[in-house]
């Protein structure tokens, strides 16, 4: 007999964005990769509070979320830009 643990995750942000929001998210992600640790914290906070975009809703990796990752999520239908 096997016992399987299932962990459910509820999104903190949203997965549907306007074109304007998506453009802002891409801009912030580009700046984020070039910033120092302290500025990265501020930028992630802006992504969460201004854009309702939580990186952890889409990845658990600590490798750094990029514009390409965002675009891949859009291509795969996990993010919708309206």
Per-residue pLDDT, averaged over 22-47, amounts to 95
pLDDT score recorded for residue 64: 84
pLDDT score recorded for residue 7: 62
| Residue 60's pLDDT band (cuts 50, 70, 90) | confident
| 21 half-sphere exposure, CB direction, 13 A CA radius | 18
**pLDDT tens sequence across 1-14:** 666 665 666 889 99
For the chain, the structural domain boundaries read 16-81
């Amino acid at each position: 007999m096997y016992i399987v643990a299932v962990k459910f995750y509820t999104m903190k942000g949203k997965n549907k964005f306007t074109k304007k929001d998506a453009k802002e998210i891409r801009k912030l992600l580009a700046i984020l990769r070039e910033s120092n640790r302290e500025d990265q914290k501020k930028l992630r906070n802006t992504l969460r509070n201004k854009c309702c975009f939580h990186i952890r809703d889409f990845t658990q990796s600590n490798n750094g979320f990029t514009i390409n990752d965002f675009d891949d999520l859009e291509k795969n239908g996990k993010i919708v830009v309206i």
